[in-house]
Structure 1
Amino acid sequence: MDEVRAWFGEAWRTATTPQPVPDDVVVLGAAALVVVVLLVPGLWRVARNVLTIVHEAGHALVAVLTGRRLQGIRLHSDTSGLTVSVGRPRGPGMVATAFAGYPAPAVLGLGASWLLGRGYAVGVLWVLLVALALLLVQIRNLYGLWAVLVSGVLLWGVTTWAPAAWQVAVAYVVTWFLLLGAPRAVVELQVSRSRERRRGVRRGASDADVLAGLTRVPGLVWVGVFLLVCVAAAVVGGAWIVGLPLR
């Protein structure tokens, strides 16, 4: 018990101790690496699972905050996901829950960039690790369990065994990916919707179309709102990371 208490104490000390801001080559190199991941289809398809995890976690968190009862989360190998909650089928709570998915990675990235700007790079990794642990108990399928476990094990390995410089670099890569990947996912959403329309497929499964059914506001408008939120978060978060003043 004493060893466990000592380990948690050391982990807390490390997470709450500011680290020096790394050189520009690390900060901008992390951004460049993320851009490569976003542009290379094979890399994007694998990394897209991270955004799906955060996307579904966003639905789940807002569902709970608005008084809905969370029944579980499913993650699929095609990088789609499903969060099931019970409550009123319409109303502000359902609208907020449906809206939360696509902005979730951007909002998380914005929070992470705020922490990075204050030197808490390792703290970012621990926050993500705790969030994955909480999410794990809500997963209801094997692929989802595998995706969350692999992500958690990788983060655990970095926070436990990697040198401090590597931990800081990974925190910057993850944060840039959340900030830049969120708009990419929204663009992908609209491309998918357009493709379905050309094929004559009846839409209704995407978050934008669910919101359109709940509010009578066209799905394209909701896609635009998603993109606006994500781009704004990327601009503000990126400025915080590189230390640019915001006016």
Structure 2
Amino acid sequence: MSEVWVTLTTPQAGPPLWIVLLAALAALAVVTWSASWQLSRGLITIAHEGGHALTALLTRRKLQGIRLHSDTSGVTLTRGRPTGPGMILTAAAGYVAPSLLGLGGAWLTSAGYVAILITIVIALLFCMLLLIRNLFGVVSLLATGGATAALTWYAPPDVDAVLAYLAVWFLLFGGVRPIVELQRKRRHGRAPSSDADQLARLTFLPGGFWVLLFLLVAGAALLGGAYLLVPLPLAFH
């Protein structure tokens, strides 16, 4: 256990700046290219539903389960008061969760604590697995967690660091696109039960306000994460 603790708490040197920037470009390409986005969007959905679930637990709502679907959609079922702060926070947590997770990951990665980041991710995936209520969701989480654990176990630390940067950039960029897609669907009347519209019914604030708030949080997380991963003095050195 002492060796594990030392491994977790010992910062490791990050990759060169050009690799960090290359990882950012690669993540941006995955998010912006439609084909790769459809293949990878499920990872954002996992973070989205995880955000709902964690907030529900923190606000003392009863969590009934999580379902992940093959069309990259998902749903988190909770019980409790149908109105009030707990319900509002739970509904608001989904779209901002990937970006906030990316920001936290950027802080850990930039500080060299890649092992801690990977451990947290695997622990969260395991906890989420206990709440999954459909087969596709179980397979998705096992595949994601298994791949993460396998890469951590077999890959050299330098490779782990590069993959961590790539994953964090993906969360930061990938947290923005679903919000843009949400507003596009709402504009065409194709998302009447979206999180933003549920929040509109809960708070009497328009759905557009919540979409804008989601976008501001995601944008701030992206800027903050980029600053942590590529500090400006270093970038212009």
Kindly indicate whether residue 119 of structure 2 is the aligned counterpart of residue 126 of structure 1: yes
Equivalent pairs counted in the alignment come to 233
Find the aligned partners of 2:15 and 2:91 in 1 and give their Cα distance. Answer: 38
Deviates more, 1:69-78 or 1:185-194: 185-194
Find the aligned partners of 1:13 and 1:134 in 2 and give their Cα distance. Answer: 24
Aligned to 2:205: 217
SS at match of 1:100: helix
Aligned to 2:227: 239
The within-5 A match list for 1:1-247 is 10-195=3-188, 197=189, 203-244=191-232
Q: TM-score, normalised by structure 1?
A: 0.91
Q: Cα–Cα, structure 1 residues 10 and 160, in superposed 2: closer, same or farther, change >3 Å?
A: farther
The Cα of 1:27 is off from its aligned counterpart by: 0.6
* Runs of at least 5 residues in structure 2 that lack an aligned partner in the other structure: none
- The Cα RMSD (Å) is 1.3
Aligned to 1:5: none
Question: After superposition, what is the alpha-carbon deviation per residue over 1:194-245, rounded to whole angstroms, capped at 9, x for unaligned?
Answer: 23x2xxx5x4321001101111111111100000000001001110111237
Question: After superposition, what is the alpha-carbon deviation per residue over 1:116-170, rounded to whole angstroms, capped at 9, x for unaligned?
Answer: 1211123212211111011110000011111111100110011111111110011
SS at match of 1:158: helix
**What is the aligned-residue identity percentage?**
47
* Runs of at least 5 residues in structure 1 that lack an aligned partner in the other structure: 1-7
What letter corresponds to residue 134 of structure 2 in structure 1? N
Contact preservation (8 Å) 1:30, 1:172: yes
SS at match of 2:70: coil
Find the aligned partners of 2:109 and 2:165 in 1 and give their Cα distance. Answer: 8
SS at match of 2:10: coil
Q: TM-score, normalised by structure 2?
A: 0.95
